[in-house]
Chains A and B, each alone.
Chain A
């Protein structure tokens, strides 16, 4: 030991506190560039562009009632796009979100009708079923560690089959019976599917729910511990777990939140149309996911917002109704969606690259 010059243990003085105010290596980029780097701003500009496009090419869009209609269409997509976006920020997918809406509506409708009970019983049971589906998805994903894509693809197929088969078994039909004359229907319709008058224009209540949920989601995401956890489990599950974030709870609750959204939209559809078509909902999950992605949520998790998907859903609603108002063949809708999705993603990529460079 004496033969070597081994290092003395480092002296125990704490490192000197920083004297300078900044390390001088980062320069602040101009405000405009910093704003453009935010995906929400990109999708907002996209939404404005689509809006202006249809204002010009479809004159009926300029009327108030048309706007109410477009917002209504957006809200039915938007209410589901919110929990789907939160789940995506949390690093997971839910492909069963579309058919889960119908599963929830079918449960409420058939349960109330077949047992001749107050519709509220069906509504509450449907909520439990929806939360249960969400819990199952989340629990399976957390327990097995398999990609949520696979797990929820399974639930998607299961629900799709069960929806059709059970409905046929119970009603001998592909649709449920009309429940509009049952106890509590009027009440439930008021809650889930009423509309109110704003300056002579009928505005659907779902628009209000949509915006309230969006504000709530934004607050939770940015201002609460839970929101912090959502970003953390999506950004790096292992790191989050290592610093004590309850990863299992966060993931499962996010899936259950999608279940809640599915229940809410399902109830809206049930009390709007009085009956439910058991084969519907297929493909809707991709619309929700697209709205979230267009809204700037990172497909791999860890980044995104709640306000972005609001604009994403608005773009979809705008196109869906705008095509009708413009008098075009509505078959073009899906093609339009695809172009918009690709366009939005490319523009987001380009904008964030240009704005974050330098």
Chain B
């Protein structure tokens, strides 16, 4: 049970405080309710590029990093398709430094051409490092475009293509800041060795006078139901053939989400999972195979991906995966299998909660989904799932018309 208190400032800024006096550190986590799904299709990758610019100095503080390091603090940030999250951890004595830094960059950035120019290059190198200069690095670009035709999840957080980043203008940056970076669209979490009262006073002091801004309403087109199986084949200079299959699942706040998560565990969670045992160990068709779901706010994907043993045909491998999906859609999974994945889920949650930084980020993520307290009811939702629930959901998910399949052929 993660205890917390919730406050709202006059300017609409939401504050969540989680006290934990067992640690000598405190965390200030700021989540902005904007991600790659809020981008213009012609200017993708912007939420993430913007995250980089947040470290380029703010209106009253030229250098973000040095004062934080002087205070013994560490920080980082990440952008997803749904939101952007910034966090600072430091010795609790110096927590006010984090308030000073974070509030100033919410108030206004320094906006300079030089910072934009450098960060464009840095992000281009990030793009190359993770997606271009790496075998199979482009597979997800293709898979997203295959599975999503309408929803902005059809592009990657890093951006659809390099040119979108290379062409970003300072005016775009200003617009983006105005639209999304304001108290009305932010959630602040203070966690660790700090009293709730003190956290509240500091938040009022540093964030209280920032103009509220306008609440941004996500204008995202939801993906319509898929009505035909989709297939794509590519060839690339990679040593092994790879198979990717994905299926649409429910959104993060739908009760069906929990079923999809458990189904992905039955199929691909660990060495005793169905796909690994059947396809890697028994049939020896794949050298590795995974199953996971994307966990996105809007309707996500359940994904199966694996690399084929050399000499196995793509068709044969695909058929074997489909047989497993048929099996889980035909008959109830064992009670023991369900207990296993529930136990795994419980462990995963407890281990994740060990770090105060994770707890802070999770409180913010659940709050943006609608209620920070969802963090405390997750386990219960998993625990209440039954084997017929799993069966019913498998029948919905593993329908041919809900599938997108990518054959990624290598050069043998």
Q: Do A and B bind each other?
A: no
B residues with a Cβ closer than 8 A to A are none
A residues with a Cβ closer than 8 A to B are none
